[in-house]
Structures are given as C-alpha cells and as structure tokens.
Structure 1
C-alpha cells in the first residue's frame, strides 16, 4: 500500500514559519515514515523512520529545499524497495563510500608510482 502523502510545498513553508515563531524543533509527516524535521535555527532535514531486522533506524535524505518534496518521496520509495529486499540502505551507503575511498587511494598510488620513476628520482638527486 502506498503511503498517503500529506505535505505540499505550501504546507512546508507554513510549518517553517510556525517552527521559527515557537522556537522549537517540529516534525511534519508526509506519510510512510517520512517527515521533515524543522529546527528553529532555520535548518530543515528530510528523514524517514523504518525497521530493519527488528531495529528502528532513521534514514536521512538531505536538506530542504536542496532536496525537493518530490525528490525526497522518490528516495523514500527507493529505500523502501531496498528494505523490502533485505538491504540496509545505511550499510549500503557506507560500503559504497568505502569502495570509493579504496579506488581513490589506488588511483593516487598508481599516479605516484608513475611520477616517481627511477630515472626521474635519480636525475633529481
């Protein structure tokens, strides 16, 4: 069953004004566990609560308005699909970051090896 989307761009702007006036963090729900967390300092974060293997986690989708309501909903659907397949989106993101770091280090070390040939080092010495 698809979640009933409750938010609109207008309702988000109104909630931001309200949060600023009461100087308190508020959460406005869009349905399906996703919400916009609005802080009185002006920051707004897309979040989604869900359970993986019986453990509740909170996923982050980005900062509003950098991530629009439509984009956040697409990220929510994508995350729910992964969770349905037994994939933890947080662990998947960590693994991708780790692999990217390894690739960067490998690339840098290859470049260093190519730069520091015996001939070049001996001429500099």
Structure 2
C-alpha cells in the first residue's frame, strides 16, 4: 500500500522500530523516539543494500519518491548509488571548505 502524508503524520511510535513501506524499496522507519527516517532498499551485484535518504518531514514523501526514482535510474545504468554518494562527499566538503576560507 502506498504511503500518504496523513498516514505518516498519524503514525505513533512504538517501543520497537516500525517500518512503513511505500513501494519500489522505499520505506519509512519510525523509531521509538518518534524520529522518522527514509530508507531505500535495493540490490546491486546480487547483494541487498540500504541507503538513507533523510528524515521526515525535512524530506517529504514527494521528495523521497523523486530521490527513489533517481536512484533507480542509476541502478538501471549499472551504477551503485552508495558508491556514487561516497564519491560526491569529498567534492561537497571541498566546496564548503573553499567557501569558508574566503
């Protein structure tokens, strides 16, 4: 069943982690402390992997679905999204460092 914004907002935390699935590997992990984390499960090279997409409501349902679609496009091209993200981190850190030095 696809998630809705109302369902996400009305879900109360429990004593254990609660997983709300949206489809295509996208899920919302509701933690006991009421934080909500977007996760994406995918397979690459025969291995199951999971990628964090951010927290709700900072990353909305609509944005999480867009990110999922972009990641699925990377997978279709034969690119591991986790490795692509790790390669971007030093570039982003370098830009921040460059901007702070000025």
Place the TM-score, normalised by the shorter chain, in its bin.
0.7 to 0.9
Taking CA–CA contacts closer than 8 Å with sequence separation of 6 or more, which of the two structures ends up with the larger relative contact order? 2
Q: TM-score, normalised by structure 1?
A: 0.72
The structure-2 alpha-carbon separation of the partners of 1:53 and 1:42, relative to structure 1 and needing over 3 Å to count, comes to same
2:59 paired with 1:63: no
Unaligned stretches of 5+ residues in structure 2: none
More strand per residue: 2
Displacement of 1:30 after TM fit?
A: 0.3
- Partner in structure 1 of residue 8 of structure 2: 12
- 2:29 is the counterpart of 1:37: yes
TM-superposed deviation, 1:98: 2.2
C-alpha distance in 1 between matches for 2:71 and 2:96: 27
Alignment partners' CA distance in 2, 1:34 and 1:91: 19
- 4+ residue runs of structure 1 moved beyond 2 angstroms? 98-105
Distance 1:77 1:39 in 2: 25
Q: Secondary structure at the match of 2:73?
A: helix
Name structure 1 gaps, 5 residues minimum: 112-125
Normalized against structure 2, the TM-score is what?
A: 0.86
> Residue in 1 aligned with 2:68?
76
Check if 1:99 corresponds to 2:99: no
- The structure whose residues are more often helix, as a share, is 1
Q: Which residue of 1 aligns with 2:80?
A: 88
CA RMSD of aligned residues (A): 2.0
- What count of residue pairs does the alignment treat as equivalent? 100
